[in-house]
Amino acid sequence: MDIRDTSESWEVVSAQRPFRGAKTAVASEEVRMPDGSVARRDFQVHPGSVCVLALDEQGRVLVLRQYRHPVRHRLWELPAGLLDVPGENPLLAARRELYEEAHVKAEDWRVLADFFASPGGSDEAVRIFLARGLSEAEGERYEVSDEEADMELARVPLGDLVRDVLAGELHNPGLVTGVLALSAALAAGGPDTLRPALAPWPARPYQA
């Protein structure tokens, strides 16, 4: 059996945007079901995101900790950010986020995993990159603000993160997906078997 997700779109009878924010919006759509009935689906419209699992020569992952108001938690996360420009190259966005949030650059980039963050309530698509060959970025550090001004940075062994994910101690979806995906990749041939950094991303098409 061929187990893979497939693209499909049911008929949208009507569509509204009752809320538009600075980066995201809420869509309210009437969708025709396979039996002919019509149901309303309300969901967040999101530009998409990138995450970076930056792995150093000692097998440690660069993580940061910041407050997330909707869940009332301070979470350990991977460097991440929005795809602010429609059609933006996700690799360029990932390089930018790694520089801005950690002042780090990387020589080797691979696609680690793609996923939908919450497909029942949002169209947000996330691409996680594996970044290796880390070094300090040149120039002055990027000036952060708001929640990012209170961020903590750390480098944690991959095995410790896997253990804490399985123990229910870590909850950010990018970090959970990234560390488990890397652990699986290391057990199944290593990082060099991962997709190239400019692999197609049907969920968020871009110009390479």
Q: Supply the residues annotated as catalytic.
A: 148
Side chain identity, residue 136: E
> 40 is written with which tokens?
């309303």
Q: What are phi and psi of 100, to 5 degrees?
A: -70, -40
Helices (H), 31-103: 90-102
Question: How many C-beta atoms surround the C-beta of residue 177 within 10 A?
Answer: 21
Please say whether the beta carbons of 77 and 86 come within 8 A. Answer: no
What single letter denotes the amino acid at residue 3? I
Q: Which two tokens stand for residue 31?
A: 């969708």
In angstroms, the Cα distances linking 89 to 23, 96, 100, 126 are: 18, 11, 17, 13
Q: Which two tokens stand for residue 171?
A: 């909850």
